[in-house]
Amino acid sequence: MSKSNLKKWIKRILKFLGIFLLLLCIVSGYLYYKNSNYDMYSLYITDTNLKTKITSSDTKEIAKELVSQMTLEEKIQQMYGESYGGGMTKFVINAVLKERFPHVYVGKNDRLGIPPWVLSDGPRGARVLDKEIDAVTTFPVGMARGATWNPALEYEVNKVISSEMRANRVNYGATPCINILRHPGWGRAQETYGEDPWLMGEFGVAAVKGLEKNNIMACPKHFVLNSIDNSRWIVDVKVDERTLREVYLPHWKKIIQEGKPASIMSAYNSVNGDFCAENKYLLTDILKNEWEFDGFITTDWVFGLYDGVKGIQAGLNVEMPFQQAYTSDVIETAITNGEITEKQIDQLVIESLATRLKYALVNDQDKYPHSVIGKASSIDLARSVAEESMVLLKNENVLPFKKERGKKIAVIGRIADIENTGDRGSSNATPMYVETPYEGIKKYQEALGNEVIFNDGSDIETAKQIASEADEVILIVGFTHEDEGEYIIFSRDKMLEAAENGKPTDNTSFGGDRVDLRLLHSDENLIKTIAPVNKQLAIVYIGGSAIDMSSWEDQVPTILFSWYSGMEGGSALANILYGDVSPSGKLPFSIAKNVKDYPYFTPYTKEITYDYYHGYTLFDKAHIETAYPFGYGLSYTQFKYDSLQVKQSSLSIDDSLSITVQIRNEGTIPSKDVAQMYIGFKNSKVDRPVKLLRDFKKISILPKETKGVELQIPIKDLAWYNPETKSWEIEHMEYEVYVGNSSKKEDLLMTTFQVE
């Protein structure tokens, strides 16, 4: 080829590349613009005729009528979120380039006047943001709120979250997370409320009612046995029937029957060989038939469903967020082959439509303007919840620090002055601001005219010198989203490979389960270095679950769990440390003396067995002393429990046990305490826990004041599940009732009652 021809070809190639790049830029720009400025749809019925029908008739009958008018393809369109290509493009562009979780519209049918619904996660604040809203009120994480032992507060928190979801043009909340904390290594422990089914049930009901108060479809998650994150897409959980019924399902049943949520989200994992979204025994036999749940079931997002036919046979209503397994080809072929029927499709669509239509009936969006977000009362609530959540584990006459002038206060730690509200996965929320521990303490002390010095602890000798010269030291230790949380990895094959090898094979992930329950080495080293040089020392732990403190707890005078405490955490911490508020949080889990005492746990596994005992029931049964027991937490005052009485000592199975106890604040500081009632089963003829939590109540008591508290439990809630007869049975025997302010034996009064 001659030089002139070569030049011509080079020019042609360059011209082609230029046109190609120009077209690529145009297409990319169009996709970016279209997907970052996506269309927003009304979530309400505008068809007057349809409104009239719903107002005067049962929504299930209207749903049946609508489904009868649909083609098969239209029915299938009701069974998934958005199309895979378009939905994924919108999601990636908004998540990566706009740092925003977009609205995913589900079930829209213009021909029949059916509006879509839109999901927002929201364990600690509304996740999906309207285009004109940059941030929301961000609360402490679920575990912190569980530590308040105050369901009334949880109701108020979820009322705020749901109102802000509505302001963000959302009508469905994927919250609360109500998976049992079986082992503290679970990365998403921070999202749930604790280790005990009874505590979980009370908080879950409060959360659902708070969400539903503002016309949000609540969606408790993840149904069921989801408490390992690094293997969540591939792990099979083995569990016997009695353990399933007594330990891992009771709170779900209570929340469904008392809270009445609109929806349930299935878990990723499989149970006894069947993935939860494809598990007919769980979804239909138990959830829909036995418990009479009349809402609809969705998958967890991405990798939530593998076999569309099995999902339909199991009773799964909607695949989220994109169409992957519920495809037209799969469904139409299965109908032709006789694996499923169109009648089954009809039933699944009717169930979801009948629920959704109730929420789409009244357009009350004007009640939720953007100004609803971040109201002063909401911010005050965020701070109050953070204060009530903090758990004082140890205090050798150090706290509260004295409010004096002329002091030098050292705030030390690598996470003491970073915005650290918890997990960056689905439970994340964008806060309007975050008051860090250092900022909260500085603001508090500068009002008194005191000097506050911050040091991140990276130079340990400098940190030691600063600590030795300070009047008091507040050492902030713990974790961030990089250390624990939702396991963010985008390959199921990598997860499977890690499970097969028993260790991670990919270093691009973050969050996830904790293999080591100790603090990071740098934190432990800082504690051991500073503790000897200043006895006016408070260790403040930030994190989502229990930690192993055995190597350093004897060296420090004070330990405070402050959790991931939300946008007002800094002020709340200062108020606790300096005595404006007395600590009243209680541990929602047990902390073992030896990490080997916890149930077996590994983040990387294809299979695991969940046994009957975990948490305080395990430690009680095996006579294992804990470092800090379930329900434990100190105050700045002392409470005395006295005069425990059973109102009626002989009861039938249709009665309720009612007890009273007197609680006296013997100190000089007003404070709150949690009266906890446990039932004991010493005389049982079957294997049962030593005791189980069956009621609790948080109360405020003034100095030198005595208050009477009444606690109750229906006798039916003392039953055990007999797998042989497949029924709940109540033993006729003498039971123990324990009452106190922790599960520790020494903290409990005891008496007995008889069930005849």
Furthest CA-CA distance within the chain? 109
* Structure confidence at residue 664 (pLDDT): 98
Which candidate, 154, 235, 161, places its Cα nearest to that of 193?
Answer: 154
Each residue's pLDDT tens digit, 459-511: 999 999 999 999 999 999 999 999 999 998 888 899 999 999 888 877 767 78
**In a 3-state reduction of DSSP, which class is residue 627?**
strand
In terms of DSSP bridges, do strands 485-488 and 408-412 run parallel, antiparallel, or are they unpaired? unpaired
* Structure confidence at residue 594 (pLDDT): 97
Query: In this structure, how many other beta carbons lie within 10 angstroms of the beta carbon of residue 26?
Result: 10
CA distance 610 to 247: 10
**Token pair for 425:** 């996965």
- Looking at beta carbons, which pairs linking 364-372 to residues 24 or more positions away fall under 8 Å? 364/215, 365/43, 365/44, 365/166, 365/169, 367/166, 368/163, 368/166, 368/167, 368/214, 369/167, 370/130, 370/132, 370/133, 370/167, 372/163, 372/164, 372/166, 372/167
Task: Give φ, ψ of 262 to 5 degrees.
Answer: -75, -30
Alpha helices (H) along 230-327 = 241-243, 250-254, 280, 308-314
SS (HEC) of 543-586: CCCCCECCCCHHHCCEEEECCCCCCCHHHHHHHHHCCCCCCCCC
Each residue's pLDDT tens digit, 616-651: 999 999 999 999 999 999 999 999 999 999 999 999
DSSP state of 531: G
Q: How many secondary structure helices (H) and strands (E) does the chain include?
A: 21, 32
Mean pLDDT computed over 212-230:
97
* Structure confidence at residue 53 (pLDDT): 85
* Structure confidence at residue 364 (pLDDT): 93
Contacts of 447 (CB under 8 A, 6+ apart): none
* Structure confidence at residue 329 (pLDDT): 97
Do 277 and 299 meet the contact criterion of CB atoms below 8 Å apart? yes
CA distance 580 to 527: 26
Each residue's pLDDT tens digit, 92-131: 888 888 778 899 999 999 999 999 999 999 999 999 999 8
Do 106 and 117 meet the contact criterion of CB atoms below 8 Å apart? yes
**Token pair for 751:** 């008496």
Each residue's pLDDT tens digit, 714-738: 999 999 999 999 999 999 999 999 9
Do 142 and 206 meet the contact criterion of CB atoms below 8 Å apart? no
Q: Please provide the average confidence, as pLDDT, over all residues in the chain.
A: 95
With pLDDT > 70 as the criterion, what percentage of the chain qualifies? Answer: 95
* Structure confidence at residue 15 (pLDDT): 66
- pLDDT-derived band at 54, boundaries 50, 70, 90: confident
Contacts of 518 (CB under 8 A, 6+ apart): 524, 547, 548, 551
Give the rounded distance of the alpha carbon of 566 from its chain centre. Answer: 14
Indicate whether 30 pLDDT > 70: no
CA distance 230 to 175: 21
Each residue's pLDDT tens digit, 544-567: 999 999 999 999 999 999 999 999
Residue 332 CB burial class (10 angstroms; 0-12, 13-18, ≥19): middle
* Structure confidence at residue 693 (pLDDT): 98
Contacts of 672 (CB under 8 A, 6+ apart): 388, 582, 584, 635, 698, 699, 700, 701
Where in 613-733 does DSSP place strands (E)? 626-628, 639-646, 650-651, 656-665, 671-680, 691-701, 706-714, 720-722, 727-729
Do 356 and 105 meet the contact criterion of CB atoms below 8 Å apart? no
* Structure confidence at residue 100 (pLDDT): 82
Task: Name the helix (H) or strand (E) containing 19.
Answer: helix 3-36
**In a 3-state reduction of DSSP, which class is residue 162?**
helix
CA distance 220 to 169: 20
Rg of the chain (C-alpha set):
28
Indicate whether 263 pLDDT > 70: yes
Indicate whether 31 pLDDT > 60: no
Enumerate the β-bridge partners of residue 11.
Answer: none
Mean pLDDT computed over 146-172:
98
CA distance 740 to 746: 9
Least reliable range by pLDDT among 57-71, 286-300, 489-503, 673-687: 489-503
* Structure confidence at residue 447 (pLDDT): 94
Where in 122-273 does DSSP place strands (E)? 172-174, 217-218, 236-238, 263-265, 270-271
Helix, strand, coil % (nearest 5) of the chain? 35, 20, 40
Indicate whether 672 pLDDT > 80: yes
The strands making up 748-755's β-sheet, listed across from edge to edge, are 650-651, 748-755, 734-740, 671-680, 691-701
* Structure confidence at residue 35 (pLDDT): 63
Indicate whether 14 pLDDT > 70: no
CA distance 315 to 334: 15
Query: In this structure, how many other beta carbons lie within 10 angstroms of the beta carbon of residue 372?
Result: 19
Do 131 and 168 meet the contact criterion of CB atoms below 8 Å apart? no
Indicate whether 24 pLDDT > 70: no
Least reliable range by pLDDT among 5-9, 40-44, 398-402, 586-590: 5-9
Give the chain's domains with CATH numbers: 19-368 (3.20.20.300), 378-486+514-588 (3.40.50.1700), 639-755 (2.60.40.10)
**In a 3-state reduction of DSSP, which class is residue 17?**
helix
Least reliable range by pLDDT among 95-104, 433-442, 656-665: 95-104
Alpha helices (H) along 607-657 = 615-621
